[in-house]
Amino acid sequence: MSDDTSVIDLSADSAPAAPSRPVNVIAHAASLEERAAAGRAVRQRLRRSQLGAWAPGPDRDPLAVLAAQEVTRVPELVPVRHERMAASPFAFFRGAAAVFANDLADEDHTGLIVQLCGDAHLVNFGAFASPERSLVFDLNDFDETLPGPFEWDVKRLAASFEVASRSNGFEQADREALQHALCTAYAGSMAELSGMHHIDVWYERLTVDEIIERWGAAAGPIAVDRFRRNLAKARSKDRLKAFRRLTTIDGGEPRFLSDPPLLEPARELMGARAHDELLDVLAKALRSYRSTLAPDRRFLLDRYRFVDLARKVVGVGSVGTRCWVALLMGRDESDPLFIQIKEAEASVLERSLPRSAYHHQGRRVVEGQRLMQAVSDIFLGWDQIEGVDGRVHDYYFRQLWDWKASADVDGMDPQVMGVYAQICGSILARAHARSGDSVAISAYVGGGDALGRAMVGFSSVYADQNEADHAALLQRWDAEAIAGG
């Protein structure tokens, strides 16, 4: 049986020139049997047990990595980033994607290339509305997306479960069980996907109703009831709720409320003239970005008029990047539309991976998201905007709230988090199968037991290092605060 998908080329010429450079060894069309054999052969170069080995390099300086990121960020928002990352080792981990990427930079890799999320920690999965208005569950953050070896996302996800479960006080046996649940689910889903036609893989999606049907019994009735309540809240977290919570009527027009530093109307950030100029720039950007949308979505967007603008703080790792929220109004005061306009910088993975094929970082994010997600926001697009600093910045655009929900990780016990690990592992496998060679990856991974053992080792060592990094961060920032007065 043959297939038109390219597979791993194991010839000497295609082998990675250096461990730190990801070489896509998918090179030519071959049969399914050849692809599977090629995937198994990768084990000869990089045993699955080797994925669990990690040690910090001699010149490792995570705080310097974080400080370098802050050079390009809005100065007055950097303290907010510090406050959020200082809250706990898990909060630090969430904000330290650049540190994690640096720590993997010199590691050997499989050469099994997929579109990476780049920051696949367990809180970057969640529920949101599909264009058909059903709740789906998927990856939902792609700021760092870039092609690279599949196991880097697996390692990021595995480490996040270890760090989070430590914060929840789980015993070691429970934490190890999480890694096996995650990897077994990833392997099982990849095996299933490897037997499917390409277009059927593309149509695969996971709705919240399917989650309840498939995993509800394992999670237990209490967890299912909590999940249903969260879903009800998610369905209410829409543009109308945002309109009620984020705006007020001033002079007959809706205007953003002021809640500094988390939400600041543009009119409060600058003088009247600069404010008017910025609104003009953003209005032009909204018109320009529409060219990145499909014609039917352009038609829909054109039915709304730009009304107001505010700067918004989002996430943990993204704090300090430029992020605006534009308020648009449609047929009347009951028809608002919020478009989030978020700065996109180079992926933290670019230190060790080839640069994106897209020079525009906003487009890199959007194209990566469209490739990995089963369904994406209908207003997802990109553009460039000249900032008040005189520099041109890359941005991507999307709706602000559209039935968004994330898991309550802090409230999970080992049983529920184990189910959540299975869900995330399955989702990650499907996202990788859309762009990578699922047959070769499945053949390399096998049933997931070996990968699970490797992730037990890797995640434990890395969580220890993450705790040390967090403690060093607190000490450094405390010392800087004392020195500053």
380 three-state secondary structure = coil
Residue type at position 454: A
The label of the residue with tokens 């060894």 reads: 25
Pull the structure tokens for residue 402: 């559209």
- Residue 369's SS3 state is helix
Instruction: Identify whether the C-beta of residue 325 lies closer than 8 Å to the C-beta of residue 340.
Output: yes
Model pLDDT, residue 298? 96
Q: What is the pLDDT of residue 387?
A: 77
Cβ distance 382 to 363 under 8 Å? yes
- Report the 10 Å Cβ neighbour count for 55: 9
Q: Model confidence over 66-80: pLDDT tens digits?
A: 999 999 899 999 999
**What pLDDT is stored for residue 248 in this prediction?**
95
Tokens of 1: 């049986």
Q: Could you give the count of Cα atoms lying within 13 Å of 53 in the half-sphere of its Cβ?
A: 9
Cβ neighbours around 174 below 10 Å, total:
16
According to the model, what pLDDT value does residue 19 have?
35
Query: What is the token pair recorded at 318?
Result: 């993204």
Q: Specify whether the CB–CB gap between 372 and 120 falls below 8 A.
A: no
Termini Cα distance of the chain: 72
pLDDT at 483: 66
For the chain, residues with pLDDT lower than 70 are 1-29, 481-485
The model's pLDDT over 182-219, given as tens digits with 9 standing for 90+, comes to 999 999 999 999 999 999 999 999 999 999 999 999 99
Q: Where are the alpha helices (DSSP H) in 195-271?
A: 198-203, 208-219, 221-236, 239-246, 266-269
Q: What is the pLDDT of residue 230?
A: 84
Taking CA 73 as the corner, what is the angle to CA 340 and CA 472, rounded to the nearest 5 degrees?
120
Backbone torsion region of residue 343, taken as left when φ is above 0, otherwise alpha when ψ lies between -120 and 50, otherwise beta: beta
Task: Report the distance separating Cα 82 and Cα 165, nearest Å.
Answer: 23
Contact 412, 157 (CB under 8 A): no
Q: Token digits for 419?
A: 């189910």
pLDDT tens digits, residue range 102-147?
Answer: 999 988 999 999 999 999 999 999 988 888 888 899 999 999 999 9
Per-residue pLDDT at 108: 93
Closest CA to 143 of 318, 399, 398, 354: 318
Do 405 and 237 meet the contact criterion of CB atoms below 8 Å apart? yes
- Which structure tokens are listed for 159? 């480490």
Strand partners, 147: 115
Between vectors from CA 286 to CA 400 and to CA 335, what angle results, nearest 5°?
Answer: 50
Instruction: Label residues 282-299 b or e (16+ Cβ within 10 Å = b).
Output: beebbeebbebbeeebee
224-252 residue pLDDT tens: 998 888 888 878 888 989 999 999 999 88
CB contact at 8 A, 30 and 60 = no
State the CB neighbour count (10 A cutoff) for residue 34. 18
